């Protein structure tokens, strides 16, 4: 079964990185954010437990690094109970096939992401014409063909629960991708936002490299529905998260997160939506 899994024909290593690559940040005792090149993965679960999960699967070619980080935190030969995907873009599934083969664990995502994870449907092509910098211009080289996880991929329960993540619920936050989800835990208001919003201007190579912290909407070159993206940010801001890990950029918490999210909601059209681009209405 595992041998049949495959990446799209356009799957390739992407030569982009940041000064945060290879660095982990413990946001909470059971919540580690780790940067792989220009994207974040999350390990959810205390270091002294065997009951933990991986959220998102990094850049193409990153599986060995993710395995190493996991074993460093949880012990040699440790493995998560599951891999949860916020969505299926290339920089969030880059190591997933190798990880599934190595760990033998299921992958969960929103039902609307299944066509992109089971070889049925390609994402819309990245838009290099959006207002933005060099990363946006590089986006035509980013893979958009579907990967095929076969029956290793499963839809998340429709009731909002997340397997092996007690206390967390998933929230549908489309716009950047049709089945994009964010994960929220009520008791401490911890948010794993995926790319619903990010804390770096992901379109600009210099800002990606330096990880200059600045709240922003989802990465412009891969966002196709800006009305839905705005509603998703409004939905997440209403949760009043105390700490947020985003798919790109540094974790943000406290008053800075509160005021930054307020600003993003109030000025979404100015901050997030590009002035032009093929997916801008």
263 is in which domain, residue-wise? 2-271
pLDDT category of residue 17 using cuts at 50, 70 and 90? very high
Q: Give the whole-angstrom CA distance, residue 247 versus residue 257.
A: 15
Q: What is the pLDDT, as a whole number, of residue 34?
A: 98
Residue with tokens 């997916």: 279
Three-state SS for 159? coil
Asked, for residue 281, whether it belongs to a domain, the answer is: no
Asked, for residue 279, whether it belongs to a domain, the answer is: no
Q: What angle do CA 141, 145, 147 make, to 5 degrees?
A: 125
pLDDT digit string, tens, across residues 222-274: 999 999 999 999 999 999 999 999 999 999 999 999 999 999 999 999 999 99
Average pLDDT over residues 184-188: 98
Residue 164 has pLDDT above 60, yes or no: yes
Asked, for residue 10, whether it belongs to a domain, the answer is: yes
Q: What is the pLDDT, as a whole number, of residue 207?
A: 78
> How many domains does one find in the chain?
1
pLDDT digit string, tens, across residues 41-70: 999 999 999 999 999 999 999 999 999 999
Question: Is 133 or 267 the better-scoring residue by pLDDT?
Answer: 267
pLDDT category of residue 3 using cuts at 50, 70 and 90? low
Asked, for residue 278, whether it belongs to a domain, the answer is: no
Q: Give the whole-angstrom CA distance, residue 261 versus residue 267.
A: 10
Say which CATH number the domain at 25 has. 3.60.15.10
> What percentage of the chain reaches a pLDDT higher than 70?
99
Residue 1 has pLDDT above 60, yes or no: no
Asked, for residue 67, whether it belongs to a domain, the answer is: yes
Asked, for residue 188, whether it belongs to a domain, the answer is: yes
The DSSP H or E segment spanning 25 is: strand 24-28
Average pLDDT over residues 24-32: 98
Give exposure, 124-156, as e/b (b: 16+ Cβ within 10 Å).
Answer: eebbbbbebeebbebbeebbbbbbbbbebbbeb
| DSSP structural state of residue 124 | P
Asked, for residue 29, whether it belongs to a domain, the answer is: yes
Asked, for residue 93, whether it belongs to a domain, the answer is: yes
């Amino acid at each position: 079964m595992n041998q049949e899994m495959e990446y799209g024909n356009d799957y390739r290593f992407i030569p982009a990185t940041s000064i945060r690559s290879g660095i982990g940040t413990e946001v909470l005792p059971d919540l580690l954010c780790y940067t792989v090149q220009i994207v974040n993965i999350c390990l959810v679960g205390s270091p002294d437990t065997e009951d933990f999960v991986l959220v998102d699967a990094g850049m193409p070619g990153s599986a060995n690094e993710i395995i190493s980080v996991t074993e460093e935190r949880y012990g040699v030969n440790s493995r998560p109970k599951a891999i949860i995907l916020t969505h299926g873009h290339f920089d969030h599934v880059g190591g997933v096939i190798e990880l599934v083969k190595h760990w033998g664990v299921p992958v969960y995502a929103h039902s609307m992401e299944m066509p992109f994870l089971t070889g049925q449907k390609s994402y819309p092509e990245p838009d290099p014409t959006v207002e933005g910098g060099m990363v946006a211009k590089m986006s035509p080289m980013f893979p958009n063909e579907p990967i095929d996880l076969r029956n290793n991929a499963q839809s998340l329960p429709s009731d909002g629960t997340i397997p092996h993540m007690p206390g967390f619920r998933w929230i549908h936050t489309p716009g950047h991708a049709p089945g994009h989800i964010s994960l929220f835990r009520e008791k401490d208001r911890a948010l794993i936002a995926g790319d619903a919003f990010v804390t770096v201007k992901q379109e600009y190579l210099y800002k990606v490299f330096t990880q200059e912290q600045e709240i922003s909407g989802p990465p412009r070159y891969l966002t196709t529905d800006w009305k839905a993206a705005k509603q998703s940010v409004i939905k997440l801001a209403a949760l009043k998260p105390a700490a947020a890990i985003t798919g790109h950029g540094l974790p943000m918490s406290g008053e800075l997160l509160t005021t930054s999210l307020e600003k993003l909601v109030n000025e979404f059209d100015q901050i997030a939506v590009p002035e032009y681009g093929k997916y801008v209405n």
